[in-house]
Structure 1
Amino acid sequence: MALALGGPPVPFAGRKYPGSHEGEDLDCNCRPGEDAWWTQGAYFTCCPAHTPPACVPNQSCLAVRRVISVFVRNASRNKRSRRDPLTKEVDTLVQLVLQTYKLKKLVIKEDMLKIVNKKYKSRFHEILRRASFSTEVVFGIDLKEIDSVKPSYALVSKMDLPNNGRLSRGRGLPKTGLLMILLGMIFMKGNCASEEKTWEFLNKMRIFAGKRHFIFGEPRKLITQDFVKLKYLAYRQVPNSDPPSYEFLWGPRAHAETSKMKVLEFLAKINDTVPSALPSLYEEALRDEEERARATVPDRADPTAMASVVRAPVPGAAARPRPSEA
């Protein structure tokens, strides 16, 4: 297996196009016939009667487009940047990281240096940065340094999927990255995403229902059965829909193992920005953090809790007679 790896895409400043630079439509809220403008690092949507200065910036569209672009660049079998001499080195390093993760071992810097071409060793930190970015975006695995004396790294999954994210024993690659992206997409869609919009989003990432993906296997089964059975996603019929239509939400296990803020931080990193750059999502994530904090603090004014403390038995008390019984 070969992955074409790279960093975040560079904005196409001042370029007008309907759809992405690869001929695919952007996942935004534009109506049919509208134009998409990418200028000064921001994405705008506008009706045909507007000129670019009159457009209104849509940061969520920008975030979605970059997620798609970065994922496609980092999860491809084909080498997109043959002029970049580091692509092969990054690819090789990612393979080592995945193999080490499968064995549940630490990644040792010395071992990584051994597989990097000697003429690129001086650029090892850049290679490691790009490899780390790719493993996080595509596979949902963080590379965290735990020993700076004898440099070594722990591999930490963003979610607790079975078998190190592979779901089933044996061969396969971690699916955590796709799950994180799906959770982010659902969050950006107002915490509920229709099945139709979800597959439109995945198709732009070159993930198609019924077509086996070299990392994720059969996507429809993975998303509508495996993730749902594990309670990371909820998949339900839209009430009163005729003909029946379906939608995705976060499942209870997703709420337990991650948070809106963590997912937003993941999306922000893909977008090479900070969570507060997406203000509406950031405010919602902050409210979610506050609610979680309140839920973990015991209510000291709860009379039931106080009563349970007062009535708790004291060891040995039953053996001591009361003064009137002495």
Structure 2
Amino acid sequence: FPIFHPNSECELKGHASPASPHRTPSNAQAGLSGCTPGLTLTSSSGGPSSPSSAPQGSPPSSLAAGDSLVTRSVCKDPQMRKASMVMDFLLERYTKKEPITQNAMLKVISRKYEQHFPEILSRASELVELVFGLELKEEVDSTIHSYDLVSKLNLPNNGRVWDGRGLPKTGLLMTVLGVIFVKGNCAAEEDIWKFLNMMRVYAGRKHFIYGEPRKLITKDFVTMKYLEYRQVANSDPPCYEFLWGPRAHVETSKMKVLEFLAKVNDTVPGAFSSQYEEALRDEEERRAGLRVAMFIVLQNTNVWII
């Protein structure tokens, strides 16, 4: 993080304005600055780009060993280390469909850090959102401070896509949808992979979270109608491009995807000026469509609200 780096050759040029120099870094971003050489997603058996020998769909060895998905050994910030422990805990409870309570999380980090719990939880929730596309929400009227993790999209098997054990893939899908949107609602396959390579996600190389990314993006997400993958007309040799699929249009919106990208880049949606304006128009069109649908339903049921 951040993905949209102003000096990167893979920058989506002309779309994102740099964040204000006076902007305070987000919790997760602030935690990154306390790590040396940086916060890196990794498995216990190798670096982020190391091929995994585990079967597809199985959990990374870091979870099995009780280690964090976030490399703790290089992290100087004790609160960030605790946040990574909470992130592991949240993922485990989510995949097992077990309750998430504040008391259980305090046991994970030890009571010594109880006074820092709000900050630790904020960092953990941002990490789990940026990497896995899951949003932590506290249950309303909860006397025991219980929480739910809600996926930003309705991918099968709690976001894991395949049956069996594994980790949610929603974060990767949200990222791809964001690249497509920022690239003008249609992104060349080459641009998608340039962008994902910045995240150390490579075609044909098994990733400890996403499995084999090429299959996931060009087949699984396409089969589930989240993405459209088509050959560019008259291209020789054949070139391919990605668009949003019909299911993506139903389950999310341009504004939600832009908000996700902005959070990843530690900025605000308005920094993507032209896309922000387009997202606002899309929101208004959605509201107008909803009003028409409500009018039709009320008309057919002879019920009128005055």
2:292 counterpart (275, 279, 298): 298
Say if 1:141 and 1:282 are closer, same or farther in 2 by CA, change over 3 A: same
Say if 1:113 and 1:221 are closer, same or farther in 2 by CA, change over 3 A: same
Partner of 2:250: 256
2:93 counterpart (81, 94, 100): 100
Name the count of aligned residue pairs: 258
Partner of 1:27: 10
> Cα distance, 1:243 vs. partner?
1.2
Gaps of 5+ in 2: 20-24, 33-37, 44-70
Greater mean alpha carbon deviation, residues 248-257 or residues 268-277: 268-277
Given the alignment of the two structures, is residue 82 of structure 1 paired with residue 62 of structure 2, yes or no?
no
Between the aligned partners of 1:61 and 1:169, the Cα distance in structure 2 is 41
2:209 counterpart (194, 201, 215): 215
Partner of 2:134: 141
> Cα distance, 1:309 vs. partner?
8.7
Contact 2:231 2:239 survives alignment (8 Å):
yes
RMSD of aligned Cα (Å):
3.1
Greater mean alpha carbon deviation, residues 139-148 or residues 170-179: 139-148
Say if 1:183 and 1:74 are closer, same or farther in 2 by CA, change over 3 A: farther
Greater mean alpha carbon deviation, residues 293-302 or residues 91-100: 293-302
> Cα distance, 1:157 vs. partner?
0.6
Given the alignment of the two structures, is residue 178 of structure 1 paired with residue 172 of structure 2, yes or no?
yes
Contact 1:100 1:107 survives alignment (8 Å):
yes
- The SS at the match of 1:98 is helix
Deviations 1:267-317 (A, max 9, x none): 222233332232211110011112212222338999xx98x899xxxxxxx
Residue type of the partner of 1:232? Y
**Larger C-alpha radius of gyration, 1 or 2?**
1
The TM-score with structure 2 as length reference comes to 0.75
Say if 1:126 and 1:81 are closer, same or farther in 2 by CA, change over 3 A: farther
The TM-score with structure 1 as length reference comes to 0.71
Between the aligned partners of 1:80 and 1:177, the Cα distance in structure 2 is 24
> Cα distance, 1:217 vs. partner?
0.4
Partner of 1:109: 102
Contact 1:81 1:87 survives alignment (8 Å):
no
Residue type of the partner of 1:288? D
Higher strand share: 1
Say if 1:242 and 1:108 are closer, same or farther in 2 by CA, change over 3 A: same
Given the alignment of the two structures, is residue 189 of structure 1 paired with residue 183 of structure 2, yes or no?
yes
> Cα distance, 1:209 vs. partner?
0.7
Partner of 1:54: none
Partner of 2:16: 60
Say if 1:276 and 1:80 are closer, same or farther in 2 by CA, change over 3 A: farther
Say if 1:98 and 1:228 are closer, same or farther in 2 by CA, change over 3 A: same
- The SS at the match of 1:129 is helix
Contact 1:74 1:138 survives alignment (8 Å):
no
Between the aligned partners of 1:280 and 1:109, the Cα distance in structure 2 is 41
> Cα distance, 1:129 vs. partner?
0.8
Between the aligned partners of 1:309 and 1:144, the Cα distance in structure 2 is 35
Q: Percent identity between the aligned chains?
A: 53
Contact 2:15 2:275 survives alignment (8 Å):
no
Partner of 1:203: 197
